[in-house]
């Protein structure tokens, strides 16, 4: 039996492959949409960029057990509650870091007395990490002086 085609010509019986291709395309679209929606629902998103903040001029004073440094960068101001401060493997609470809002050029002081005291000539390791991003902002060892 001959069927008339859309262009007006007659041809032999032909099986359409378009139904199978259509189903495959619909399944592929569904899988891609499910992956995209799942990424948003489960919070898989690009990581937050690390702040541009570095500390220079790090010094440790053995008399006061204070560590001083100067922040440089563009991520200002930054609250100390966003930082994890560790001195000689001891976590220093944010209340022992002054000032509470860090800005370029100011002196930041970490009071390590009673938590991680150090003597004259001692090696003092200071590690500062940005809590929201996990970015390491400072990892240095200084010698305690006067």
Segments of the chain assigned to CATH 2.60.40: 53-143
Query: Which contacts (CB < 8 Å, 24+ apart) does range 72-79 have?
Result: 72/104, 72/105, 73/104, 75/51, 76/102, 76/103, 76/104, 77/101, 77/102, 77/103, 78/51, 78/53, 78/102
The whole-number pLDDT of residue 114 equals 85
Q: Could you report the per-residue pLDDT of 82-93, keeping only the tens digit for each?
A: 999 999 999 999
Q: Could you report the per-residue pLDDT of 36-75, keeping only the tens digit for each?
A: 888 777 877 677 787 888 899 999 999 999 999 999 988 7
pLDDT band at 9 (very low <50, low <70, confident <90, very high): low
Give the fold, CATH level 3, of 53-143.
Immunoglobulin-like (2.60.40)
């Amino acid at each position: 039996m001959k069927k008339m085609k859309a262009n007006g010509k007659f041809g032999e019986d032909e099986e359409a492959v378009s139904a199978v291709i259509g189903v495959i395309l619909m399944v592929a679209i569904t899988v891609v949409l499910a992956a995209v929606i799942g990424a948003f629902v489960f919070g898989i998103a690009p990581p937050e960029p690390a702040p541009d903040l570095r500390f220079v001029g790090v010094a440790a004073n053995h008399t006061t057990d204070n560590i001083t440094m100067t922040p440089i960068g563009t991520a200002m101001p930054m609250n100390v509650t966003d930082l994890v401060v560790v001195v000689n493997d001891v976590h220093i609470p944010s209340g022992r870091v002054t000032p509470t809002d860090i800005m370029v050029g100011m002196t930041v002081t970490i009071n390590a007395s009673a938590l991680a005291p150090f003597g004259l000539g001692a090696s003092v390791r200071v590690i500062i990490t940005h809590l929201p991003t996990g970015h390491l902002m400072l990892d240095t060892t200084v010698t305690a002086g006067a």
